[in-house]
Amino acid sequence: MLVAEREVTTPPDRIDSLTTGRLRQIDVVRLLTFAAVISVHSLAFTEQPSDVAAAGAMMLLQFGREIFFTITAFVLVHSMAGRTLDLRRFWPRRLAYVAVPYVVWSAIYYSYSVLGPAHATFSWATFGSDLLYGGAMYHLYFLLVTLQLYLAFPVLLWAARRSAAHAGWVLAAVGTANLAWLAVLQYAPPPRSGPLVWVWAHAYELLPTYSIYVLAGCYGALHVRRLQGFVTRYPRQLVAAALACVAGSLGVYALQLSTMTPRTADAVLQPAMLLSCLAAAILLYLVGCRWAAGRQRGRATVDTLSDASFGVYLAHPLVLQLLLDHGFANNGQRIPAVVATVVGLVVAMAGGAGLSVLFRHTPLSLALTGRPRHPARTTAASPTRILRNILSARSTTVTFPGEG
């Protein structure tokens, strides 16, 4: 009776508004996740590797890649509700939105390594290897995994739909296997010969490494109304569960410090990161739902930044690297580390956002942001007008690469 009463008292219009059409809570989750990604990069390169507190913060903030794969799968499956997948449109469009900026930004970052302060020697072989493995900059591997996700999506959609009634069992089985693989990566000695050497070295670039998160996104979309009803009814319990996950994640990190360096103890590919990711998913989704179900203050800002979010991800390491090459890096710092971290975070966020918003209004938008150029009526906007649009009430279309 208690459950039934709770179901009756849950406002159905609130659930409906957050489960049909455009899911605005996902926009907020995406933006907060991007903020966490930039925070991790700022911490990683401005704080000393031996800093226990900085590594502990990274342990909690390194959920970006997992949450993004969950969001991508969620939005893709949700967009296919009641529809049949047309591969003649799906693959050319979605793959182009990722592959084109991947090649362009790989060229940009490789050029910077040659022409910038590092003065690397140009080599076509090196550049080719960077294209193959995402080596031109530390964040480009994400695009390779995204391409794998799009290629595998037809099979994922079919399998998720067929097994939707048994989602819990499937997630338990896949999650167990996934955690076992992460435990091997974190605790077992790396192989010295054989094909596993390559798999070990490139595990972070392979879609199966993130299988539990992708499947969670698929099933979440298929059961979105039930998921939303649960979130709406039990927010306090979910916050408590998230805080317990935070404590568990930090507890594992603290225990590992006795045998590992801080940057090994906080490794992103380890079983304990599931706790950090679960905590982040719960808290960010609750924040997003609260905003979406309310007055949606700052909606124009959320819209514009969400529209430019993929471009922010692509561009922010370039902005941060400019600072690192001029006294902010932890291997030759000229200012206090905490100042370098804060300034690096703010400048990388603002610079990446500014560049992406500007790129969205140029003919190079697809190549630099993974999205087609804005309609002609807005392409001539000046930087002043663009800034005014961010702060105004005008709404724009919000998509992630390949999601719209």
Evaluate if residue 383 carries a pLDDT over 50.
no
Cα–Cα distance, 199 to 197 (Å, whole number): 6
Q: Are the CB atoms for 251 and 244 separated by under 8 Å?
A: no
Q: Torsion angle, CA of 397/398/403/404, rounded to 10 degrees?
A: 0
What is the residue whose two structure tokens read 């902010």? 328
Copy the structure tokens of residue 127. 């550049």
pLDDT in tens, 245-293: 999 999 999 999 999 999 999 999 999 999 999 999 999 999 999 999 8
Please list the alpha-helical segments (H only) found in 223-364.
224-233, 235-256, 262-265, 273-293, 299-307, 309-323, 337-359
Residue 129: which of 205, 45, 200, 211 has the closest Cα? 205
CA dihedral for 288, 293, 297, 301, sign (positive or negative): positive
Evaluate if residue 14 carries a pLDDT over 80.
no
**Where is average pLDDT lowest: 110-124, 152-166, 356-370, 379-393?**
379-393
Strand runs labelled E in 12-69: none
Evaluate if residue 381 carries a pLDDT over 90.
no
Indicate the SS3 state at residue 296.
coil
Cα–Cα distance, 94 to 96 (Å, whole number): 5
Evaluate if residue 24 carries a pLDDT over 80.
yes
pLDDT in tens, 184-207: 999 999 998 888 999 999 999 999
Q: Are the CB atoms for 252 and 179 separated by under 8 Å?
A: no
pLDDT band at 12 (very low <50, low <70, confident <90, very high): low
Evaluate if residue 395 carries a pLDDT over 50.
no
Neighbours of 285 (CB within 10 A): 22
pLDDT at 237: 97
pLDDT in tens, 207-230: 999 999 999 999 999 999 999 999
Cα–Cα distance, 73 to 403 (Å, whole number): 9
The b-or-e profile of 69-97 (16+ CB within 10 A means b, else e) is bbbbbbbbbbebeeeeeeeeebbeebbeb
pLDDT band at 46 (very low <50, low <70, confident <90, very high): very high
Region at 233 (left for phi over 0; alpha for psi -120 to 50; beta for the rest): alpha
pLDDT at 242: 98
Q: Mean pLDDT, to the nearest integer, of 65-86?
A: 93
Evaluate if residue 385 carries a pLDDT over 80.
no
* Residue 251 or residue 379, greater confidence: 251
pLDDT band at 332 (very low <50, low <70, confident <90, very high): confident
Counting residues of the chain whose pLDDT is more than 90, the rounded percentage is 78
pLDDT at 6: 37
Residue 386: which of 311, 297, 322 has the closest Cα? 311
pLDDT band at 306 (very low <50, low <70, confident <90, very high): confident
Cα–Cα distance, 33 to 26 (Å, whole number): 10
Evaluate if residue 18 carries a pLDDT over 70.
no
Q: Are the CB atoms for 192 and 185 separated by under 8 Å?
A: no
Evaluate if residue 403 carries a pLDDT over 90.
no
Q: Are the CB atoms for 317 and 41 separated by under 8 Å?
A: yes
pLDDT band at 11 (very low <50, low <70, confident <90, very high): low
Copy the structure tokens of residue 366. 């697809």
Q: Mean pLDDT, to the nearest integer, of 134-138?
A: 95
